[in-house]
Amino acid sequence: MTDSIQTTKNLQKPIKGRSLWIDAIGRLRKRKLAMICFGIILFYVFIACYVQVAEWTGSSWPTNWDESTGQKYESPNAQNIFGTDIFGYSILRKVLYGTKISLQVAFFASILSILIGVPMGAAAGYFGGFIDDVIVWIYSTLSSIPYILLILAFALVLKDKTPFGFKLAGATTVYLAIGLTSWVGICRLIRGEILKRKESEYVLAARAMGCSGGRIIFKHLLPNTFHIVIITFSLRFMSFIHAEVILSFLGLGEKDKPSWGAMIDSARLDLPKGYWWEMTAATLAILIISLALNIFGDALRDCLDPKLRTD
């Protein structure tokens, strides 16, 4: 009896509400490994931003990757910690510059596929009927073509085109090709999620208050599904980086500037001669950020959406 009185008293105290995000961040903070991985990702982003700013302001380091800093094929030493390549360029500078290009490609590809996939998925799920049929038709068609072939075909036809006086070359082609092909997955996910949620009470309440379809989608439904977008892209980011490597190797990517893919491509012929450092440096750069993204993405998924938890 006293217990229940106690509980009622406790309940009368105002309970401070916590949003999904604050809750998730609190849970993420408890995971040490995930936080270390987040630190690594921030470090990579910092390098990429630093290189970009250095390029804008005309600062010399590390944008002067095309200056020789030693003899050709110097093995790792005090002056060039990752050694030098065939022209005597510092591999450290190439890796740093490649960080910018690879992250840029993955970032713009993600933005592009979110901008295409999310509104289309939302429209298909919310409006249904003919709109749904058309959008489902488009993505079923695209997803029946093997992914790697589709990216290749897009990169191949987009390369060296000049739409609206803007020449597509190098990294631009790569992220256009990846972005225009990889919105399919997120579109399907968002459509399913909206289909599930559009019958819920808050949507009904919004509709009863006279909200328009666009307002319900953008103000009510999408904020409630946005964590899915974040989770998907923290895991997809890695595959975009790997796709850039493959496209660069096939000669459809960056040619004049060092990206990680271009580095692996140029190191391909050096490896049999025993010059292992350029290959190793590029591989390590990719491995570390992929590992960090993988582990952090999994932790983020567990914290944001416990229903999706795998173990």
Partner 1 sequence: MLSYIIRRLLYTIPIVFGVMLVTFLLFNVVRGDITDQIAGKAASAETRAEIQEAYGLDKPLFFDFKQSPFTKAFWNSQFVNHLFSAATFDFGSSYKDRELIWDKIKRGAGPSLALTVPMLIGTVVISISLSLVVAYFRGRWMDYILVLISIVGMSLPFLSFILFGQYFLAFKWGLFPVYFWPDLSVWQYTALPILIGIAAGIGGNLRFYRTVMLDELRNDYVRTAYAKGLSSRQVLFKHVLKNAMIPIITQVVLAIPFLFLGSLLLERFFGIPGLGYLMIDAIGSRDYKIINAMVYISAILFVVFNLITDICYAWVDPRVKFD
Contact residues for partner 1, defined by CB under 8 A: 137-138, 140-142, 144-146, 148-150, 152-154, 156-158, 161, 238, 242, 245-246, 249-252, 261, 264, 267-268, 271-272, 276, 279, 283, 286-287, 290-291, 294-295, 310-311
Q: How far is the CB of 157 from partner 1 (least distance, A)?
A: 5
CA–CA gap between residue 119 and residue 184 (Å, rounded): 12
Long-range CB contacts (within 8 A, 24+) of 124-129: 124/187, 124/191, 124/194, 125/190, 125/191, 125/192, 125/193, 125/194, 125/195, 125/198, 126/194, 126/198, 126/213, 126/216, 126/217, 126/221, 127/213
Nearer to partner 1, 26 or 251 (CB): 251
Q: How far is the CB of 296 from partner 1 (least distance, A)?
A: 12
CA distances from 177 to 147, 236, 246, 271 (A): 11, 15, 12, 30
CA–CA gap between residue 4 and residue 305 (Å, rounded): 33
Q: How far is the CB of 291 from partner 1 (least distance, A)?
A: 5
Nearer to partner 1, 36 or 153 (CB): 153
Q: How far is the CB of 311 from partner 1 (least distance, A)?
A: 6
Angle between helices 20-29 and 277-304 (to 10 degrees): 130
Handedness of CA 166, 170, 172, 177 (dihedral sign): positive
Q: How far is the CB of 98 from partner 1 (least distance, A)?
A: 13
Nearer to partner 1, 221 or 289 (CB): 289
Q: How far is the CB of 292 from partner 1 (least distance, A)?
A: 9
Nearer to partner 1, 68 or 140 (CB): 140
CA–CA gap between residue 140 and residue 126 (Å, rounded): 18
Nearer to partner 1, 69 or 290 (CB): 290
Task: With H, G, I as helix, E, B as strand and everything else as coil, classify residue 90.
Answer: strand
Residues with Cβ < 8 Å from 287, sequence gap 6 or more? none
Q: How far is the CB of 267 from partner 1 (least distance, A)?
A: 8
Nearer to partner 1, 54 or 228 (CB): 228
Nearer to partner 1, 148 or 204 (CB): 148
